[in-house]
Chain A
Amino acid sequence: MSRFIARRLGFMLLTMVIVSLAVFLISEAAPGDVARHILGQFATPAQVELLRDQMGLDQPLLIRYRDWLIGNDWKLRRLVGMPLVQKPVGDRGEIGWYAQAADGTLLQWKMRKEGLAELRTAPDGTKEEVPFDNWVEDEDGNSVHWGVDTANHVVLWVRDQVARETGVASAGRAMTEASGEQYFPIRKGLLRGDPGISQRTGRAVGPTLMRRVRNSFTLAILAFAVIMPVALVLGVLAGLKEGRATDRAISVMSLVTTSIPEFASGVFLILVFSFWLKILPGAAVFTSDVAPWKDPKLLVLPVLTLTLVEVGYVARMTRASMVEVMNAPYIRTAYLKGLPYRRIVFTHALRNALMAPITVIMLHVNWLVGGIVVVESVFGYPGLGLYLLDSAMFKDVNAIEAGAMLMVALAVGTQLLADVLYTFLNPRIRYT
């Protein structure tokens, strides 16, 4: 059993590596340039080039993949000559990089009109800004300085070229400072818990993703809590009345609701409940930082939409399983023994009949994920699915990677859980 789990975990890891590489390669090959996207269509080619440089997009693919995976601060610190440390900035979970001097002072450098300035934050929290004059001679005789800027890059400043370059890339949300000669975005790497900065929003992916995941999970768990009891009851009922009117009605209804795509049933529900009856809000308009359960009314229609689509599938599974069990020889034996019907159903049939659906439902999680993406899109619900969709449209590779890794881990993990659960429910099966 433990060998089986270890093998499956290895398989999951392999899948994740392949997926992450695939996403990298694909976003490389796909048309469109994220720097151009950020700057807008009126940016000059020089500005686009500079932004690409600042975002590290001009580096080879494999280097970028390595930086994304395990970070590059341990390499960049050699350039700066001081350890690079991360400290939180502000209260939204954003994180800034600093160079740490021997006495514990945190250093950043910033270009001012009169020249390069050093921003110092002492260990006790006091800040001061002093003009920088500690240039180093390089092989060509230029005065240069490797430092950390205020937007998480390691930058090479050259003294004589400082003035010339200032302010080139000031369009849009891009860097307002472009004084350096070379840029390396500092990254800690996914494996060390840092998915990077979203190129679409300019914020760290991690905190946003966490909020989005929380919202999606709220939706999924609520939907699950509604779907499971309803579907199991309907399925068992239909299975017990096999071939009769109750069964036909339940089976056909569940086939119909499952067949209607989420976006169509969502639209029907909005029309009925918020347009004609005016009792529920038709869109879940709230910012992603507000917990969704603060206003439960917003959740009703999204949960109902998911329920409509998923309930039929689970009910049909349960029905098939129930029918099979009720035709089994041991149930006939129970009948012939003269046991009351109620007891046959509750003590003999149910346990065996519910085994299959429960594991099938866990395998169905991929469907639920897909349904959630569509439902979030219908209702404007700020969850993980919508985040991924928006990021994919923007080619925001850091956000797509983080979201995709999470989804794959979730999907493969649930399947593993389903297999393990199944061996406990059905001891006849042993994986090796």
Chain B
Amino acid sequence: MAGQLSLETPKTKRTKKTLGGLLVIRDSRVGMVGLTLVTFWVLVAIFAPLIAPYSPLAQDSSAINQGPSAQYPLGTDTMGRDVLSRLVHGSRTILLLAPLSVICAVIVGAFLGLVGGYFGGIVDEVVMRLLDAIMAFPTILLYLIIISAIGPSALNVVIAITFVGAPGVARLVRSLTLDIRTRDYIRAAETRGEHPFFIMFREILPNARGPIIIDSMLRVGYAIFSIGTLGFLGLGLPPPTPDWGGMISEARKYIWTNPLGVLWPALAISSLVVGLNLFADGLREESTRYQ
């Protein structure tokens, strides 16, 4: 019983501290603008079926490639689908895939960084050289090779972004690990005879979480950027899934007849990425201000 209690108490404290850390965003005006933009899109994604007037896949052959009208507030695309509905449902796709791929990248990257940083020596050397090789690549070339190998699909987009993002996370976690490894409580845990993996995941990782969280926030913005780019290049989600990048590349072909069709998805993805980056930047600035 007592043992359980002593395990419980620091955990709740820790959660509170993390949330409290996120609250510093209130002091940053730019950060709050970002938070508002992100909250807007999150709400849109959650209530997508209630907001969207039509199904994102429903086609109206009598209204193809039209501008805004009373019936279709943002117009229709080349297949007569309602742009507003596709936009609203597209926010779901992107807000699901981006955090998911960042979480995967953080899991993979944190594991590699912890292992490399904690064990050091030959393990570290091999892991880091491999990651260096991946990072030396033009990102776009990696995406091209990966996606053309495994084909475009939602899962493969997540795999590609994880693969590209993990080395960056690993470098960050490794440098944090190298620092934390020298602390006394790690020495104590080693003297207790704890398993290396216990030390890595229960002692080091929780103490490195601050920079990792802020880094992840920046990464979500970057992941949305990448998912949009992949969609635009035709390497993202296969049609007819509503995908902002894909919508832009489709509407780009008809820009001279229906210029607004390309404007809406471009505005949507820009506002979301800008919002996320403003939020992450505000968070970083406020949390490092008093250090």
Task: Assess A267 versus B255: contact at CB under 8 Å? Given A261-B269, A377-B232, A377-B233.
Answer: yes
Interface code A256-281, partner B: CB below 8 Å = 1, 0 otherwise? 10111111110110110001000000
Complex-state Cα separation, A270 to B254, whole angstroms: 12
Verify A370–B30 contact, CB threshold 8 A: no
Interface check A292, CB cutoff 8 A = no
Which residues of chain A come closer than 8 Å to B234, judged between CB atoms?
Answer: 393
How far in angstroms is the closest Cβ of chain A from B205? 28
Which residues of chain A come closer than 8 Å to B229, judged between CB atoms?
Answer: 261-263, 370, 374
Interface check B228, CB cutoff 8 A = yes
Complex-state Cα separation, A29 to B256, whole angstroms: 40
How far in angstroms is the closest Cβ of chain B from A347? 31
How far in angstroms is the closest Cβ of chain B from A14? 8
Contact of B249 among A263, A271, A392 (CB under 8 A): A263
Contact of A282 among B221, B228, B255 (CB under 8 A): B255
Complex-state Cα separation, A370 to B141, whole angstroms: 8
Which residues of chain B come closer than 8 Å to A412, judged between CB atoms?
Answer: 136
Interface check A120, CB cutoff 8 A = no
Which of B4-12, B119-127, B258-266 lines the interface with chain A?
B258-266
Contact of A259 among B139, B141, B252, B277 (CB under 8 A): B277
Complex-state Cα separation, A11 to B276, whole angstroms: 37
Verify B270–A374 contact, CB threshold 8 A: no
Interface check B290, CB cutoff 8 A = no
Interface check A389, CB cutoff 8 A = yes
Complex-state Cα separation, A415 to B30, whole angstroms: 34
Interface check B291, CB cutoff 8 A = no
Interface check B204, CB cutoff 8 A = no
Complex-state Cα separation, A316 to B193, whole angstroms: 46
How far in angstroms is the closest Cβ of chain B from A177? 31
Which residues of chain A come closer than 8 Å to B266, judged between CB atoms?
Answer: 263-264, 267-268
Tally of contact residues, A, Cβ under 8 A: 50
Which residue among B140, B225, B266, B269 has the maximum number of chain A CB atoms within 10 Å of its CB? B140
Which residues of chain A come closer than 8 Å to B232, judged between CB atoms?
Answer: 261, 263, 374, 377-378
Interface check A187, CB cutoff 8 A = no
Which of B42-50, B142-150, B168-176, B182-190 lines the interface with chain A?
B142-150
Verify B133–A15 contact, CB threshold 8 A: yes
Task: Assess A404 versus B248: contact at CB under 8 Å? Given A267-B262, A377-B232, A411-B138.
Answer: no
Verify A408–B145 contact, CB threshold 8 A: no
Interface check A18, CB cutoff 8 A = yes
Interface check A369, CB cutoff 8 A = yes
How far in angstroms is the closest Cβ of chain A from B222? 9
Interface check B67, CB cutoff 8 A = no
Complex-state Cα separation, A42 to B148, whole angstroms: 24
Interface check A285, CB cutoff 8 A = no
Verify A255–B149 contact, CB threshold 8 A: no
Verify B233–A255 contact, CB threshold 8 A: no
Closest to B146 in A: A26
Which residues of chain B come closer than 8 Å to A260, judged between CB atoms?
Answer: 270, 273-274
Task: Assess A259 versus B221: contact at CB under 8 Å? Given A26-B149, A267-B263, A389-B144.
Answer: yes
Which residues of chain B come closer than 8 Å to A19, judged between CB atoms?
Answer: 137
Contact of B259 among A255, A271, A370, A388 (CB under 8 A): A271
Which residues of chain B come closer than 8 Å to A360, judged between CB atoms?
Answer: none
How far in angstroms is the closest Cβ of chain B from A228? 20
Complex-state Cα separation, A389 to B145, whole angstroms: 10
Q: For residues 222 through 255 of chain B, which have their beta carbon under 8 Å from a beta carbon of chain A?
A: 225, 228-229, 232-234, 245, 248-249, 252, 255
Task: Assess A26 versus B145: contact at CB under 8 Å? Given A261-B270, A271-B259.
Answer: yes
Complex-state Cα separation, A291 to B71, whole angstroms: 48
Closest to B225 in A: A261
Verify A370–B148 contact, CB threshold 8 A: no
How far in angstroms is the closest Cβ of chain B from A420? 16
Verify A374–B233 contact, CB threshold 8 A: yes
Which residues of chain A come closer than 8 Å to B150, judged between CB atoms?
Answer: 30
Which residues of chain B come closer than 8 Å to A377, judged between CB atoms?
Answer: 232-233, 249
Complex-state Cα separation, A268 to B234, whole angstroms: 20
Interface check A61, CB cutoff 8 A = no
Complex-state Cα separation, A400 to B233, whole angstroms: 16
Interface check A427, CB cutoff 8 A = no
Which residues of chain B come closer than 8 Å to A270, judged between CB atoms?
Answer: 255
Which residue among A15, A259, A373, A388 has the maximum number of chain B CB atoms within 10 Å of its CB? A259
Interface check B151, CB cutoff 8 A = yes
Which residues of chain A come closer than 8 Å to B255, judged between CB atoms?
Answer: 267, 270-271, 275, 282
Complex-state Cα separation, A408 to B140, whole angstroms: 11
Verify B137–A366 contact, CB threshold 8 A: yes
Closest to B244 in A: A264
Task: Assess A388 versus B141: contact at CB under 8 Å? Given A252-B30, A260-B273, A374-B232.
Answer: yes
Complex-state Cα separation, A395 to B234, whole angstroms: 14
Closest to A28 in B: B149
Which residues of chain A come closer than 8 Å to B225, judged between CB atoms?
Answer: 259, 261
Complex-state Cα separation, A23 to B281, whole angstroms: 38
Which residues of chain A come closer than 8 Å to B221, judged between CB atoms?
Answer: 259
Which residues of chain B come closer than 8 Å to A85, judged between CB atoms?
Answer: none
How far in angstroms is the closest Cβ of chain A from B267? 8
7 of the cross-chain contacts (CB-CB < 8 Å) are A255-B277, A259-B278, A264-B266, A264-B269, A366-B136, A367-B139, A377-B232
A contact set with B: CB distance below 8 Å:
11, 15, 18-19, 22-23, 26-27, 29-31, 248, 252, 255-256, 258-265, 267-268, 270-271, 275, 282, 366-367, 369-370, 373-374, 377-378, 385, 388-389, 392-393, 395, 400, 404, 407-408, 411-412, 415
B contact set with A: CB distance below 8 Å:
30, 133, 136-141, 144-145, 148-151, 221, 225, 228-229, 232-234, 245, 248-249, 252, 255-256, 259, 262-263, 266-267, 269-270, 273-274, 276-278, 281
